[in-house]
Amino acid sequence: MGLSDYIIMRELNFPDINRFERYCQVGGWEAYRTAVKEQTPATIVQMVKEAGLRGRGGAGFPTGIKWSFLPKDVFPRYLLCNCDESEPGTFNNHQIIDRNPHQLIEGVALSAYAIECHTAYIYMRGEFAAAALTLEQAIDEAYRAGLLGKNILGTGYDLDIYVHRGAGAYICGEETALMESLEGKIGQPRLKPPFPAVAGLYGKPTIINNVETLANVPRIVEKGVAWYRSHGTEKSPGTKCFSLSGHVNRPGNYELPFGVPLRELIESPEYGGGMKGSRPIKIIIPGGASAPWLTAKHLDVPLDYEGVAAAGSMLGSGAVIVLNDTVKAPHVAYKMDEFFKHESCGKCTPCREGTHWLVKVLHRLAEEGHAEPDDIPTLHGIYRQMAGNCFCLLGESAVMPIKSALELFPEEFEAIIKASNERHQRNGAHAIPLRVS
């Protein structure tokens, strides 16, 4: 099943699509011009609601509904575009911006108009310096064309869009941490409530959406709700840019309608092109590092929010990492949790200490092959002490890799313990070196 009429990645192969003129040639900025001149903000919100657009940042929360949480008559408001994309396996925002910046800017502008806000910030992870430049250039072009700035197209509507670069912290993708970071503080999540829609950036009502989410908006406005809903499924309408990576022949971003089976993404010659060297699939992580793992037996799971959830995982950011049988589950868990440990902000105890301890044990076990007899109950204990008790979802996510690994591949842990035990017995009591740190 191919898709000719892309929503996000449209005309991505069109040369110089990142230039304003090219983008306009394929109908770009039209939706925005029409909206600002002819449509009320409420109309746009209504369209987005009816289109059933769901947030692509991970939670899949309906965007139109989120927008309608804004308290009436409280101004100024802010729109924040979340481009802190840092979750292992996730890389579609990066590409959308680098290759088709105008679609995002148009989306931001349209959404800002819809929620009646006059200042929007695009928060980019610090590493995306080149992409930030690309975006700045595109924003400059839009200003020069009178699409941004004061009194846009003579309608009296003002809008400024600024690019703000983070400086290396995954947690700043969490919406409240992002606001803290944007306020010039360390990026640690805030207590909720109050929710951002009520009191966000600078204490003002704020909407935060993912890059891909906002990039959908121009298409919805341009082509209409019915057209949009003709893609994807009833509950997950539209398309999704799946970031496919790992041991597949053709890793990359593939925009496919929601509901496409996992198998097609991985195996279709147009997309994943099957596994490298035709090795068997061992682990599929369908939604970025925070998603519980699936295995080869889940290949028929449809890739939409409900389908993946039913399989016991989550679609999350739509990053599909496929690993073959050369990897060891404890090691994958170790690498994943090393990520979470590295990115834990330190604010709450379970995440700060739990990720650290998990990595300590997993490192010893998976990298060094030294295991203690009760490592398995210890690992279970640690993640259970974290699960549900952390301040934000980062800590909760860190539970997933180790939990999945223990659930799906307990024998690999047992094997390491057994081997270590045997070595231990062979070599006498001090086989496990006492590490003095």
Partner 1 sequence: MADVTITVNGVTFRVPAGTNVVDAARIGGISIPVFCYHPRMKPVGMCRMCLVQVGTPRLDPATRQPMLGEDGRPVIAMMPKLQTGCTTPVSEGMVINTESDEVQFAQKGVLEFLLTSHPLDCPVCDKGGECPLQNLTMAWGPGNSRFDYNDKVHFEKPVHLGDLILLDRERCILCARCVRFQDELADDPVLGFDNRGRNWMIISKSDPPFDSKFSGNTTDICPVGALTSADFRFKARVWELSSKPVVCTLCPVGCNLSLDMRYDQLMRVMPRENGAVNDIWICDKGRFGHRFIEHESRLTTPLIRKGGHLVEASWDEALALVAEKLAAVQSSRGGSAIAGLASPRLSNEDLYLFQKLFREYFGSHNLDHMPGSAADVDYDEHGALMGVGKGTNLMEMGAESLVLVIGADPEEEAPLYVLRLRAMLERGAKLVVANMRPTKLDRSATTRLYYQPGSELAFVRGLLRAVFDRVGHERLHLKHSGLEQLRKTLSDLSVEQAAELCGVPAETIRAVAQALLEAKQGLIMYGAEARSAGAGMSESLGVLAALTGKVGKPGSGLIALLPGGNSRGALDMGVRPDARPGYAVLSQRGLGAREVWPALREGRVKAVWIAGLDPAAQLPAARAALEAADFVVVQELFLTATAKLADVVLPAASVAEREGTYTNAERRVQRSRQARQAHGEARPDWQIIQGVAQHLSELSVPVAVPTQRVEESSQPVGGKGKSKGPGKTTAVTVAEPSTWDYLTPSEIAAEIAERVPGYAGITYSALAATGQGGDWGRQTNEAIFYDGTNYENSEGIGIQLPNLIEGQKTAVSLGLRPLSKPAHERSLLLVSQSLAYDGDLLLRGSLLERQIPQPYVALSQTDADKLNIKPGDTVRLDSAAGELTLSARVVDDVPAGVALIPANLPNFSAAAVQTGPRTRVNLVKVVTG
Partner 2 sequence: MLLETHREAIETIVGRYASPRSAVLPLLYLAQDVYGHLSNAAIREVADILALPETAVFEVVGFYTLFYSRPVGTWMLQVCDDVPCCYLGAEELITALKDSLQIKEEETSADGMFTLQRVKCLAACDRAPVLQANLDYVYDVTPDKVEALLKDLQSRAADARRRGVSGRFAEDFAVTEQGAVELVARDAPYQSRQFEVQGPPPPPEPLPPPEVESGQDRAETRRGSPL
Ligand X SMILES: Cc1cc2nc3c(=O)[nH]c(=O)nc-3n(C[C@H](O)[C@H](O)[C@H](O)COP(=O)(O)O)c2cc1C
> Which spans of this chain sit near ligand X (rule: CB under 6 A)?
55-59, 61, 63, 66, 82, 84-86, 171, 173-175, 208-210, 213, 392-394
Q: Which amino acid is at 149?
A: G
Which partner in partner 1, ligand X, partner 2, none is near 181 (CB below 5 to 8 A by kind)? partner 2
- Would you say 122 or 390 has its CB closer to partner 2? 122
According to CB under 8 A, which one of 4, 13, 278, 437 is a site residue for partner 1?
A: 437
Which partner, ligand X, partner 2, partner 1, none, binds residue 57 by CB below 5 to 8 Å per kind?
Answer: ligand X
Task: Choose the contact partner of 14 out of ligand X, partner 2, partner 1, none; CB within 5 to 8 A by kind.
Answer: partner 2
Number of residues that bind partner 1 (CB under 8 A): 34
Give the Cα separation of 331 and 130 in Å (integer). 33
Select from 82, 150, 83, 159 the least CA-distant residue to 115: 159
C-beta separation of 54 from 63 below 8 A = yes
Closest distance to ligand X from the beta carbon of 294 (Å)? 21
Site membership for partner 1, residue 356 (CB under 8 A): yes
Two structure tokens written together for 235: 């509950």
Q: Which residue lies nearer to partner 2 by CB, 84 or 417?
A: 84
From the list partner 1, partner 2, ligand X, none, which binds 210 (C-beta under 5 to 8 Å, kind-based)?
ligand X
Kindly state the tokens that stand for 307. 């389908």
Q: Using CB distances below 5 to 8 A depending on partner kind, what does residue 356 bind out of partner 2, ligand X, partner 1, none? A: partner 1
Segment contacting partner 1 (CB under 8 A): 58-66, 206-214, 323-331, 351-359? 351-359
Which residues lie across from 135 on neighbouring strands? none
Quote the strand ranges of 194-341, DSSP E.
206-210, 239-246, 252-257, 281-285, 319-324
- CB nearer to partner 2: pick between 211 and 382: 211
Q: Is 350 in the site for partner 1 (CB under 8 A)?
A: yes
> Considering the complex, what minimum distance in angstroms separates the CB of residue 426 from partner 2?
29
Choices 113-121, 235-243, 249-257, 348-356; region in contact with partner 1 by CB under 8 A: 348-356
Length of the chain: 437
d(CA 241, CA 317): 9
Cis peptide before 302 (omega within 30 of 0): no
Q: Give the residue among 232, 58, 201 at the shortest CA–CA distance from 122.
A: 201
| DSSP per-residue letters across 239-260 | EEEEEEEESBSS-EEEEEETT-
Cβ contact 80:91 at 8 Å: no
Q: Scan for tokens 């449509």, then name that residue.
A: 39
Question: Which residues 381-400 are close enough to bind partner 1 by CB under 8 A?
Answer: 381, 384-386, 388-391
